[in-house]
Amino acid sequence: MSDQANQGDLEIRPSPLLKVINDLHSKYKSLKEGIVANYIPELAKVNPDLFSISIVTVDGQVYQVGDYQQLFTIQSISKVFAYGLALEDHGRDYVLTRVGVEPTGEAFNAIILDEQSKRPYNPMVNAGAIATTSLIKGAGATERLNRVLEMFRRYIGHDVFVDISVFTSERSTGHRNRAMAHLMLNFGMIDRNIEEALDLYFQQCAVMVNCHDLAVMAATLANRGVNPITGEQAVNSRYIKDILSVMYTCGMYNFAGEWAYKVGIPAKSGVCGGIMAVVPNLMGIAVFSPPLDIRGNSVRGVKVCEELSQQLGLHLF
């Protein structure tokens, strides 16, 4: 065999999956739509051009492109994981008495409770997430925070930290969330000190992750709760169906129906500009791009997921 033939044999070709995400990254890189979240003052400082796509498969393969090491705060995507911890702490029946599983068709920050039960509608909107977080067990505020951080560590595979500036920024401006907490206190849906519950909620939202971490977390949910990189069980597998069901019906807020129709996989967005999507038994997908549409979902993130779903045939039905 000639040297040339040998070199040809050794040529490293990008995998088809890497090519798909590279192409999508190039296609949407210069798109200038949407605006970065500014109702939390610290979030307004983010560079709108940051853009990354990561995929982690349930057998631990990793494909990624762009700024996938860039840290950002997880924001609403944290709600998915806090829900899992509340389910582990109390079981399905009790959690259902405090937070429903019904989509609202309203914005993520709508101040509404179910008329009859007085429960917040679901754990993915702010009201439901604050109620969910107030259920997390622990002897005091520090133990509860440590349990939340330890939970994220299991999903991600390394220690995580809270961005103190983003936490304080939201804590000192988050009066809408505070109003929801008071409303739920009034109806007995939160029974602890609401400032402590809000602090823990703002802290979980300010946990720093990158796009790669988010894809590992999504892959862990796709893999029945077992982190595919570390092999650690991050959440009891019996709650995976609860978590993925509410992600599917409520994770994208007032876009959840269109998302389910077009993309067809459970997902969760955050005002950080992240979207995490789960293809059960196959892969976790994460996109990070800060400019948001009017519903608070990443513009590039939605487009990338729509096209990925079509090209890879990911729709569940």
Among 58, 160, 166, 271, which one carries the catalytic annotation?
A: 271
Alpha helices in the chain (DSSP H): 3-10, 16-28, 78-90, 92-98, 126-133, 141-156, 164-173, 175-186, 194-205, 211-222, 240-250, 256-262, 299-312
76 catalytic residue (yes or no): yes
Site for ligand DON in 278-317 (CB under 6 A): 296
Alpha-carbon distance of 294 to 4, in angstroms, equals 55
- Among 79, 134, 268, 279, which one carries the catalytic annotation? 79
Looking only at residues 251 through 280 of this chain, which bind ligand DON when binding is defined by CB under 6 A? 269-271
Backbone angles phi, psi at 250, to 5 degrees: -130, -10
Residue 296 beta carbon to ligand DON: minimum distance, rounded to whole angstroms: 3
Q: Of 83, 201, 239, 248, which one is the catalytic site residue?
A: 201
Least distance CB 97 / ligand DON (angstroms): 23
- Binders of ligand DON: how many residues, by CB under 6 A? 12
CB 285 within 8 A of CB 302: no
The verdict on 204 binding ligand DON (CB under 6 A) reads no
Task: Name the residue nearer to ligand DON (CB basis): 58 or 305.
Answer: 305
Q: Smallest distance, Å, CB 304 to ligand DON?
A: 16
Helix (H, G, I), strand (E, B) or coil at 54: strand
The nearer residue to ligand DON, 136 or 226, going by C-beta atoms, is: 136
Residues 149-178 binding ligand DON (CB under 6 A) are 170, 177
The CB-nearest residue to ligand DON is 76
Environment class of 210 (CB within 10 Å of its CB; exposed 0-12, middle 13-18, buried 19+): buried
3-state secondary structure string across 203-233: HHHCEEECHHHHHHHHHHHHCCCECCCCCCE
The 3-class SS string of 83-97 reads HHHHHHHHCHHHHHH
Yes or no: say if 290 and 48 are a contact pair by the CB < 8 Å rule. yes
> Which residue from 251, 286, 41 is spatially nearest to 163, judged by alpha carbons?
41
The residue (of 91 and 257) whose beta carbon lies closer to ligand DON is: 257
Cα three-residue angle 291-294-300, rounded to 5 degrees: 35
Active-site annotation holds for 79? yes
Q: Return the residues of window 108-137 that contact ligand DON according to CB under 6 A.
A: 108-109, 126
- Active-site position among 155, 248, 253, 269: 253
CB of 252 to ligand DON, least distance (A): 9
The answer to whether the beta carbons of residues 212 and 62 sit under 8 Å apart is: yes
Quick one: tokens of 288? 């990070």
Q: Is 201 noted as a catalytic residue in this protein? A: yes
Residues facing residue 35 across a β-bridge: 292
Shortest spacing between CB 183 and ligand DON, in angstroms:
15
Q: How far is the CB of 100 from ligand DON (least distance, A)?
A: 18
In the region spanning residues 84 to 113, those forming contacts with ligand DON, defined by CB under 6 A, are 108-109
Binding ligand DON by CB under 6 A: which of 52, 75, 134, 254?
75
Chain residues binding ligand DON by CB under 6 A are 75-76, 108-109, 126, 170, 177, 205, 269-271, 296
- List, by residue number, the catalytic residues: 76, 79, 201, 253, 271
